[in-house]
Structure 1
Amino acid sequence: MSTIVVEGVEVDTRHWINGERVASATTFTDVSPIDETPLGEIAAGGPAEVDAAVRAARAAFPAWAALPVAERSAVLRRVADGIDARAEDLARVETRDNGSLLRSHRRGVMPRVGMNFRYFADWAESLRHDDREIRGHRERITYDPAGVVAVITPWNAPLMLATWRIGPALAAGDTVVVKPPEWAPLTASLLADIAHEAGLPPGVLNVVQGTGAEAGAALTRHPDINRLSFTGSVPTAGVIAAAAAPNIVPLSFELGGKSPLLVFADGDLDLAVGLAVEQFDNAGQVCLGAFRLLVQEGIAEEFLARVIDRASALVQGDPRDEATDVSALVSRAHFERVRGFVDRAVAAGAKPLLGGGPNAALGGLYFAPTILAGAEPGSEILTEEVFGPVLTFQTFATEAEGIAMANSTRFGLAATLVTGDPGRAERVSARLNAGTVWVNCFFVRDLGAPFGGNGRSGIGREGGDYSFDFYCDIKNSVFSPGGWTVSHGEAELGAVSYREAERRAVSHGEAEQRTTETDGTDA
């Protein structure tokens, strides 16, 4: 069958290539983490489907890139309107597909999906640099569409994180081939329908489903892609980088995290406890989560008691129930991975203060909210990303010690800091190794601000101009003030290179003072 019905919503299980539905000879089974029941058989793409999608995107690129920005943006706003109109359908399908809370999809995730299109459509229309002047010459910096963009997305927030890349890429004038996650592919298929209904031309957005080993590998090594954006794990990023390297494809990687929640004794304890418990959101399957609780001595005992009390009251269960706080992990393979981290930590001496294993009352893929203490510094549980509802607890004495502990991993995606001292907030945030630092807050960011990680947390930044810096080829055009006129049998400056003009000036004893000439012209 080419369609399935999920939570009352019909979803096409075929690829979307060049404005048409395309089947594959092979399929894979999509399983709901809520109860581990199969949702349906999904078309599994490989090199042939990827090549067809890339060729379609390449063919569609000239017309889409040439479309005036205002017209492109108008199409993207219609896509946003279509997303908003179907937000409930998208929320129900994605909840069933990846197990995230329905209430979160309704209140925050799906509104953000529409915003990703609308925001970057608006931003593209205002994107410009002021002209520059150098020795009477005018320099104009412009953003040219780069070409075909490959987008490979994760399963923890598949539609929101896909559109965070698709939105600016399309607004920039690029065309896109997206490979959704095999553990949660369905809302990408619905997005294709919505974009088509909004008038997005054939080939501008293509969706190829499949596994990383087949569809993902074929896409990352394809010689006709111009940008590649990936969100996922560090090991997979290494494989992708190696595959893309021969084609010199620019990469944007948003990878893992092992972020700290750094709580000082002068901070608001109520706030700190609330932020700690918030880290169990989406069953801990959040790259930005602050899963390392680092608490200053003196308040540590009270903080820990209050966090355990609050976390014990969290409701774990079916994510379609509005009362549920913590749902299931996305797959059996991931469940076993998380359990392995905890089992190894406990075997090495860590003590579970809360949870520590599967939720015995629920069974299935439900892993109980867990807090571990007593892990050895430098141990796996403190340095590697678990990506589950597992927090670790440590204490520190001084500000310097707290900063050192916060920076003691190879990751640098985010950090959260709680303090009542403005001076400390400035000092500590400046020294934390993180792409984003939240001070007395969490998960607050304007879409125009840069987002990305340091170290093993990624490459590059996206958001606002930073997105267009990646999805565009940035051009500098230098215009001579005198055109191409000829005087005394010799071309004026602007008709010859700066190097040649300088040589002539020097030869006549007329070299200008060079206090402002280190502009890289000769590089």
Structure 2
Amino acid sequence: MTEHTLTVAGVAVDTRHWIGGERVASAETFTDVSPIDGSVLGEISRGTAAEADLAVAAAKAAFPAWATTSRAERARILHAVADGVEKRIEDLAIVETTDNGALLRSHRRGVMPRVAHNFRFFADRLLNLDHEDFETRGHTNHVSWDPAGPSVLITPWNAPLMLSTWKVAPALAAGNTVVLKPAEWTPLTASLLADIAAEAGLPAGVLNIVQGYGSEIGDALTSHPDVRRISFTGSVPTAQRITQSAAANLTPLSLELGGKSPLLVFADADLDLAAGLAVEQYDNAGQVCLAATRILVEETVAEEFTRRFVEKAAAIVQGDPRDEATDIGPNIHERQLEKIDGFVRRAVEAGARAVIGGHRGEGRYYAPTLLTDVAQDSEIVQEEVFGPVLTLQTFTTEDEAVQLANDTRFGLAATLATGDRDRAARVTQRLVAGTVWVNCFFVRDLQAPFGGSRHSGVGREGGTWSFDFYCDLKNTVTAPKGWNNHG
């Protein structure tokens, strides 16, 4: 091991940036800590504007060759990256669990296989990316997707590698070069991705990874005049800063932001199913942007629903995420834990009642919490907590349910439990959300558009929508006459 390498459960991870196909160290570092037990994992290179400039320059230099690489060759390399991910699923899983506290079993069985699938899906979609030519007064229109240029991708800590590759894969498939900045609380699997990509034959400079704080390196990336696309997943305040930073260069943005999503439970629903869906919202210790944290239940079944919910929630096992029996691990950081606890304490002081939970556990664990007696205009109902905290309110009519569901500044997702197909059709049409689940939760397909409305985001990614964002769409109109040759 070298001074720039740390070891996590026997897995070596380089702590330096990855720029232009080489490891680059910074003069300063920041400390990476595991949320499981507070142990120090290591010191990570702390990038500044200097590293941002280096990374963008490397991406710019690599862009012409990568943009003109054939679709087939780009797809082949992305499949090779997926192969590399699959060979290292165990390494990636244990490193990410240690770094962000999410369940090891989920990383092994779902998250890391999804990382590989991200690359395979967009590689295959690239090969089938097409729009049928069409005629205008005898002239032929041909639509093409041209690579846009260097792209800055800024990703969060709650699903670090999966959400990074959800952006990296389509950007690379589109022919863009990339500068990825992972969240400073969870930088490790991004470093492993650099190794995997290099081994897969991705040319130097096509993928660059820089680590550090948003205030020190993020602004330099998002304001850089050579950046052609910015994709960000995270908080509304950070998105507002990025938008201002990008404005001078009119850099196109894709923003997937927070949520305060509702779960509507009607009296005609399967209440056991509905209660199970509600308990699912504690997944990843509530650190899921799509989580339906506002449970809205028809008044006539509220008591029975609550009974079933409490019964199911009692079976949740909270503990070490490396244990196969654990259902909920720790929250990511002491700062986040204090934020969660502050939300709950203020809600209780304002009159809310904790049906379950409402308090911290040992270390960085927060007890799964359900609060009732909350006002619609209260902080706990209107603001994103990003922890294992749900609220429960009741409604008496369908109109009231929809009104309550839409009455926040967010619009990322919504979940609906009902046994009436006609009601499902009526209500989903009226809900303000980028994704609506009916009698299910968290079923996601990469073919579908993904994003939010209102303060939950700008734009959509997924399927062809990703290529629409990462490319400059061109329409070429050709006249039927004027040719010297007739072949």
Q: Mark yes or no: TM-score above 0.5.
A: yes
Could you say what secondary structure the match of 2:201 adopts? coil
Which residue pairs with 1:368 in the alignment? 367
Which residue pairs with 2:442 in the alignment? 443
Partner deviation per Cα, 1:112-143 (whole Å, 9 max, x = no partner): 10000000000000001011110110011000
Offset at 1:216? 1.1
- Within-5 A mapping of 1:115-130: 115-130=117-132
- Within-5 A mapping of 1:6-85: 6-85=8-87
Could you say what secondary structure the match of 2:267 adopts? coil
Which residue pairs with 2:244 in the alignment? 242
Which residue pairs with 1:391 in the alignment? 390
Offset at 1:273? 0.8
Question: Are 1:345 and 2:347 counterparts?
Answer: yes
Q: Counterpart of 1:479 in structure 2: which amino acid?
A: T
Q: Counterpart of 1:472 in structure 2: which amino acid?
A: C
Q: Counterpart of 1:291 in structure 2: which amino acid?
A: T
* Structure 1, unpaired ranges of 5+: 486-523
Which residue pairs with 2:162 in the alignment? 160
Which residue pairs with 1:91 in the alignment? 93
- Within-5 A mapping of 1:298-447: 298-359=300-361, 363-447=362-446
Could you say what secondary structure the match of 2:47 adopts? coil
Partner deviation per Cα, 1:198-223 (whole Å, 9 max, x = no partner): 00000000000001111111111111
Give the Cα separation in 1 of the matches to 2:198 and 2:23. Answer: 11
TM-score, with length taken from structure 1: 0.92
Partner deviation per Cα, 1:334-374 (whole Å, 9 max, x = no partner): 11111111111111111111000102xxx111000000000
Give the Cα separation in 1 of the matches to 2:342 and 2:90. Answer: 36
Question: Are 1:181 and 2:183 counterparts?
Answer: yes
Partner deviation per Cα, 1:181-207 (whole Å, 9 max, x = no partner): 000000000000000000000000000
Could you say what secondary structure the match of 1:320 adopts? coil
Give the Cα separation in 2 of the matches to 1:85 and 1:397. Answer: 53
Partner deviation per Cα, 1:141-190 (whole Å, 9 max, x = no partner): 00000000100000000100000000000000000000000000000000
Q: Counterpart of 2:36 in structure 1: which amino acid?
A: I
Q: Counterpart of 2:34 in structure 1: which amino acid?
A: S
Runs of at least 4 residues of structure 1 off by over 4 A?
Answer: none
Offset at 1:418? 0.5
Offset at 1:97? 0.1
**Which residue, out of 186, 194, 197, partners 1:195?**
197
Offset at 1:376? 1.4
Partner deviation per Cα, 1:377-398 (whole Å, 9 max, x = no partner): 2111001100000000011111
**Max Rg structure:** 1
Give the Cα separation in 2 of the matches to 1:405 and 1:304. Answer: 19
Give the Cα separation in 1 of the matches to 2:125 and 2:338. Answer: 43
Give the Cα separation in 2 of the matches to 1:110 and 1:92. Answer: 10
Q: Counterpart of 1:68 in structure 2: which amino acid?
A: S
Which residue pairs with 2:234 in the alignment? 232
Which residue pairs with 1:137 in the alignment? 139
Which residue pairs with 2:467 in the alignment? 468
Give the Cα separation in 2 of the matches to 1:463 and 1:473. Answer: 16
Give the Cα separation in 2 of the matches to 1:405 and 1:7. Answer: 47
Offset at 1:484? 6.2
**Which residue, out of 282, 288, 291, partners 2:290?**
288
Give the Cα separation in 2 of the matches to 1:114 and 1:144. Answer: 25
Which residue pairs with 1:149 in the alignment? 151
RMSD: 0.7
Could you say what secondary structure the match of 1:247 adopts? coil
Which residue pairs with 2:222 in the alignment? 220
Give the Cα separation in 2 of the matches to 1:193 and 1:385. Answer: 35
Q: Counterpart of 1:78 in structure 2: which amino acid?
A: A
Could you say what secondary structure the match of 2:300 adopts? coil
Offset at 1:265? 0.6
Offset at 1:308? 1.1
Give the Cα separation in 1 of the matches to 2:108 and 2:48. Answer: 34
Could you say what secondary structure the match of 2:354 adopts? strand
Offset at 1:445? 2.1
Residue-pair matches, total: 482
Give the Cα separation in 2 of the matches to 1:156 and 1:255. Answer: 13
Identity %: 66
Q: Counterpart of 1:373 in structure 2: which amino acid?
A: T
Could you say what secondary structure the match of 1:299 adopts? helix
Q: Counterpart of 1:386 in structure 2: which amino acid?
A: V
Give the Cα separation in 1 of the matches to 2:444 and 2:363. Answer: 35
Give the Cα separation in 1 of the matches to 2:74 and 2:315. Answer: 48
Give the Cα separation in 2 of the matches to 1:282 and 1:54. Answer: 33
Offset at 1:8? 1.2
* Structure 2, unpaired ranges of 5+: none
Partner deviation per Cα, 1:94-123 (whole Å, 9 max, x = no partner): 000000011111111101100000000000
